Amino acid sequence: MELTALLVILIIGAVAGWLAGQIVDGYGFGLVGNIVVGIVGALIAGFLFPRIGLSLGGGLLGSIIAATVGAVILLFLIRVVKRA
């Protein structure tokens, strides 16, 4: 993996994690935590979206939106588990 690709993944993860933290009130994990949440969210979206037939298109914006939706799902699941 090239350095440029790694930087793009980290930036998308950070933006998606930050956006998800803003959407799901009360969840912000700092820069590293947001990157991890964003990357895991992108993995969730990459697994879930094709199975339900959803495509957000390609490019940077589509990747950020998909990763954000996946990160929101992840934060929602974390909230449910913490309450149980």
Enumerate residues 6+ apart whose C-beta is below 8 A from 20.
Answer: 27, 34, 37, 38, 41, 68, 71, 72, 74, 75
Would you state the pLDDT for residue 24?
Answer: 85
pTM score, whole prediction: 0.84
Residue 53 · residue 59 · CB < 8 Å: no
pLDDT string in tens for the chain (84-residue length): 789 988 888 888 889 988 988 888 766 677 788 888 888 988 888 888 889 988 877 788 888 889 999 999 988 888 888 887
The phi, psi pair for 79, rounded to 5°, reads -65, -40
